[in-house]
Amino acid sequence: MAPTIRSPFRRTLALMASAAILAHAGMNGVAYAQTAPETTAPRVATPAPVTPEPAAPAPTPPAAAAPGTAAPAPTPPVPAAPQQAAASQAVVPNNGPASVADLAEGLLDAVVNISTSQNVKDDEGAGPAPRAPDGSPFQEFFNDFFNKQQGNKGGNHNVSSLGSGFVIDPAGYIVTNNHVIEGADDIEINFANGSKLKAKLIGTDTKTDLSVLKVEPKAPLKSVKFGDSSKMRIGDWVMAIGNPFGFGGSVTVGIISGRGRNINAGPYDNFIQTDAAINKGNSGGPLFNMKGEVIGINTAIISPSGGSIGIGFSVPSELASGVVDQLREYGETRRGWLGVRIQPVTDDIADSLGLDTAKGALVAGVIKGGPVDDGSIKAGDVILKFDGKTVSEMRDLPRVVAESTVGKEVDVVVLRDGKEQTVKVKLGRLEDSDQAAASDDAAPDGSQDDGVITPDPGENNDMDQPDTGDQAQPAPDTPDQHKGQVSPDAATPKNVLGLSLSLLSAETRKAFGIAESVDGVVVTEVTPGSASAEKGLKPGDVIVEVAQEFMKSPDAVAAKVQALKQEGRRNAQLMIASANGDLRFVAVPME
């Protein structure tokens, strides 16, 4: 067969065609990778972007055969590797989370830096200057040095501090933390545009650590408004703006990590916890939701180093907004007052009352002359709801009472005699409670938790730390004081629940120092190691009630305890009065 002679021109044309086909295939491949549809199911987190492996070279298509020549055999396609196939379908990386730049830009002008100064005497806390021993070779130099120091006493120096705040009214009202401006002689507000204005203190509330300041601007200021923190959920995005370490206008973003946190900062602790970075200087700054509303006021952090470790706390707006309104209007807070002493409902007390779970606040006493001294609420009641708000635990009650308007009539749901009842109560004003608390019928320690007076912590410790010291012996009984109320053998001491009980008489009152206002059955001796001893009962305590029933005699106590056992109760709830009349409830196991 005669050899075929190929023209150089035809070879060149075939090569150019092959190159065009390869370029077209490459462009199609890129276009496909960029327009691949997302396959992520709704509400499923998008996986991290996958870096594609280097693509395998595209197969070379056959060159166009010259006329009169045989077409070359087609090259079989090379199967793609599994990783290469997956890479071709990978989701293209996006540019990160949605930006909050537009939101922050509209809020920065409303957030301010607060600088304070305080004059402090140089010799505050200084003691007498030391003297060198007589005859010392350095006595002259030593005394000269300290004499000069003493001569310079009496001078002052300024102590400065920095914090944050935010404008809530274009007229110049600014909110911050009380601890930011506490004790300050001079308060200066630094705005985002570089201007500065002196501020005066309108009002402060130490219990919530909030203060309101006022400046006099020449033009209306950019302001922000409070949102509803009660609608925020754990996991919601939030943004903090403040002045950490003096770096004004710093923006950090995080989520709500927890709600209702109690950090023992005050009687109304109900903090929002966030992992948005909060540092020194952020105090008093706002915590925003993604609508640009203030839902918290940054107040505290937990940190071993002084810097943020992602645990910050903010006063919720549902509490702060009412306090701020009162400070603006009155320069002080005006809180509701219920006039009761309360204690926690423990598991044992809940069982003795027939509650399925430990909840509510147990009323340990009622302040004479207070809003509920009319008998609407009694000692032994468990407050379950107040003005439509559930009282899950004891610390909830002081907060919801304090947030209520003075003079308002509210519905209170209580558990009394095993049944829920609703009573109407007209609230007093907290400040009025000072006189009642100081009266003979109020708590002797004068402690009060703004709307609810709580027992002294040491009182509750008695329940866990029994007194095992010398126990007083039973004193002679004189049943004359209880004529017509007791059986003939009621004066005989009885042993119930590890307690030796006796009637109250002039002798027993004198022996234990029991006030005349206290009535019931006196404990004269406690068996060591008994359940009553473990609960902290001691000689001189007076059993006023058992299971909300007044006790007139030791026989009545024994009979009631026996009845409770027959009902299948595991604990007996005792109302105990101390010698001076303080009341508390103790649930003693009967097993």
Q: Catalytic pick from 179, 348, 449, 553?
A: 179
Q: Which residues pair with 413 in a beta bridge?
A: 385, 422
Q: Catalytic pick from 283, 314, 404, 553?
A: 283
Q: Is 24 a catalytic site residue? A: no
Give 302-335 as a 3 state SS string. Answer: CCCCCCCCCCEEEEEHHHHHHHHHHHHHHCCCCC
Instruction: Look up residue 317 and give its two tokens.
Output: 């707006």
Q: CA 437, CA 431: separation in Å to the nearest integer? A: 10
Instruction: Look up residue 116 and give its two tokens.
Output: 């304070």
Nearest to 156 by CA among 196, 123, 192: 123
Q: CA 537, CA 465: separation in Å to the nearest integer? A: 9
Q: Is 283 a catalytic site residue? A: yes
Q: CA 431, CA 448: separation in Å to the nearest integer? A: 11
Q: CA 280, CA 159: separation in Å to the nearest integer? A: 16
Q: Is 364 left (phi over 0), alpha (psi -120 to 50) or beta?
A: alpha
Q: Spell out the residues 6+ positions from residue 31 whose beta carbon is closer than 8 angstroms to its own.
A: none
Q: What sign does the CA torsion over 213, 200, 241, 256 have? A: negative
Alpha helix locations (H) across 275-395? 317-330, 347-353
Q: Which residues pair with 589 in a beta bridge?
A: 571
For residues 422 and 413, is the Cβ–Cβ distance under 8 A?
yes
Q: Catalytic pick from 115, 161, 164, 209?
A: 209
* DSSP assignment letter at 591: -
Residue 227 has a CB neighbour count (10 Å cut-off) of 20
Q: Is 434 a catalytic site residue? A: no
Q: Spell out the residues 6+ positions from residue 85 whose beta carbon is closer than 8 angstroms to its own.
A: none
Instruction: Look up residue 190 and give its two tokens.
Output: 């630094």
With tokens 């040095």, the residue in question is 145
* DSSP assignment letter at 172: T
Nearest to 61 by CA among 12, 26, 86, 9: 26
Q: Torsion angle of alpha carbons 17, 20, 21, 27, nearest 10°? A: 180
The catalytic site residues sit at 179, 209, 283
